[in-house]
Amino acid sequence: MERRHFIKQAGAAVALAGVGGGVIAACNPPASNQSQQDGETNENQGISTTMENKEVIAHYVLFWLKEELSEQEIADFAGFFEELKAIPGIKSLHYGRAAQTHPREVVDNSFTYNLLVYFDTMDDINTYETHPVHLEAIEKYSKFWTKVVVHDSWLKQAVI
């Protein structure tokens, strides 16, 4: 019964994290994102896609900032994310502090900031990763963090 309760809670969390009000589920990357844009079937995965069922790349980053930073320095770190908004190819960019939700065994709120950036194509995320604005922001703000963890995923928006 515990596992069922956890699965229901996890499902609700995914629903709340939906893109544009939809529920997102992780999936494998397509052989070519162009087929996703054209609404063709991806034969490697047996998935028929339409504009309502389009995949995006989610770039999710967790930042642990140094413990000795003042609240003002922590707030100033948000400048890192603001600088990234200038990079071409970003579909959307979201960032914020860890929510102090109820402690549970499966929740890790130990990070200071998170960043969620959506891209339409691998070319877009490749441009982002090597773009001078990104590299300069890393050089400028890396003095603030002790740890960074990156998760890149293909996400499919399911229309309900």
Domain holding 145: CATH number?
3.30.70.100
Number of domains in the chain: 1
In a domain, 86, yes or no: yes
In a domain, 50, yes or no: no
In single-letter form, the type of residue at position 104 comes to R
In a domain, 4, yes or no: no
pLDDT for 95 equals 98
In the chain the beta strands, taken as DSSP E runs, fall at 23-27, 41-42, 47-48, 55-65, 90-97, 113-119, 145-158
In a domain, 16, yes or no: no
Q: Is the pLDDT of residue 4 over 50?
A: no
In a domain, 60, yes or no: yes
Report CA torsion sign: 15, 63, 150, 107. negative
In a domain, 143, yes or no: yes
In a domain, 101, yes or no: yes
Q: What is the pTM of this model?
A: 0.67
Q: What is the pLDDT of residues 147-160, one digit of tens each?
A: 999 999 999 987 78
Q: What is the pLDDT of residues 66-123, one digit of tens each?
A: 999 999 999 999 999 999 999 999 999 999 999 989 999 999 999 999 999 999 999 9
pLDDT for 52 equals 58
Which residue range is the domain that position 75 belongs to?
30-45+55-154
Give me the torsion for CA of 33, 83, 61, 144, rounded to 10°.
160
In a domain, 71, yes or no: yes
CA 120 to chain centre: 13
Structure tokens at 11: 């499902």
Q: What is the pLDDT of residues 25-49, one digit of tens each?
A: 333 344 444 444 444 444 444 444 4
pLDDT for 159 equals 78
